[in-house]
Chains A and B, each alone.
Chain A
Amino acid sequence: MNPTRGGWVILLTIVLAMLLAVVHLPADAPVWLGWLRPSWLVLVVFYWVMALPQRFGMISAWITGLLVDALYADPLGVNGFCLAALTYVTWSFYERFRMYSVAQQGVVVFLLVLGTEIVRMCAQWLSRDGTLSFWVFVPAVASTVAWPLVATVLRRVRLQFSVE
Chain B
Amino acid sequence: MALAIVSSLLLTIDVNSRLLQPMRSVLATIVSPIYIIAESPYQVSREARATLSTRESLTAENAKLEQRNLELSTVAQQFVALREENTRLRQLLGSRRRLGAEVLVAELIGVVPSPNTYQVEIDKGAEDGVFIGQAVIDAEGLFGQVVEVARFSSRVMLVIDAAHAVPVQVNRNDFRSIAAGTGRTDRLELEYVPVTADIRVGDLLVTSGLGGHFPRGYPVGEVTAVVVDPTMTYAQVTAKPSAALDRSRHVLLVYYAKTEPPKQDEPAPAEPAAEDPK
Taking beta carbons and an 8 Å cutoff, which residues of A are in contact with B?
15, 18-19, 21-24, 26-27, 31, 34-35, 37, 58-59, 62, 66-67, 69-78, 80-81, 84-85, 123-124, 126-131, 135
- Chain B neighbourhood of A127, CB < 8 A: 14-15
Instruction: Verify if B72 is at the interface (C-beta below 8 Å from A).
Output: no
Bound-state CA distance A71–B115 (Å) is: 14
Which chain B residue shows the least CB distance to A35? B115
Interface size class of B (residues with CB under 8 A): 35 or more
Whether B15 lies near A126 (C-beta < 8 A) is yes
Q: Is B35 located at the chain interface by the 8 A CB criterion?
A: yes
- Output the nearest chain B residue to A123 by Cβ-Cβ distance: B11
| Cβ-neighbour of B10 out of A35, A73, A80, A131 (below 8 A) | A80
Whether B10 and A70, one on each chain, are in contact in the complex, defined by CB atoms closer than 8 angstroms, is no
- A131 and B116 contact, CB distance less than 8 A: yes
Asked if B148 is an interface residue, CB under 8 A from chain A, the answer is yes
Q: Knowing A18-B31, A75-B15 touch, does A70 contact B24 (C-beta < 8 A)?
A: yes
Which single member of A59, A70, A78 contacts B28 (CB below 8 Å)? A70
Known contacts A24-B38, A62-B3; A73 and B148 CB within 8 A of each other: yes
Contact mask B1-40 → A, CB, 8 Å, 1/0? 0011011111101110000100110011011001101110
B155 proximal to A (CB < 8 A)? yes
A85's partner among B4, B13, B38, B162 (CB-CB below 8 A) is: B4
In the complex, residue of chain B having the shortest beta-carbon distance to the beta carbon of A31: B115
- 1/0 per residue, CB under 8 A from A, across B33-59: the answer is 011011100100000000000000000
User: Shortest distance in angstroms between B48's beta carbon and chain A's nearest beta carbon?
Assistant: 15
Give the contacting residue for B14; candidates A21, A71, A76; CB below 8 A: A76
Given A80-B10, A131-B183: A22 and B110 within 8 A (CB)? yes
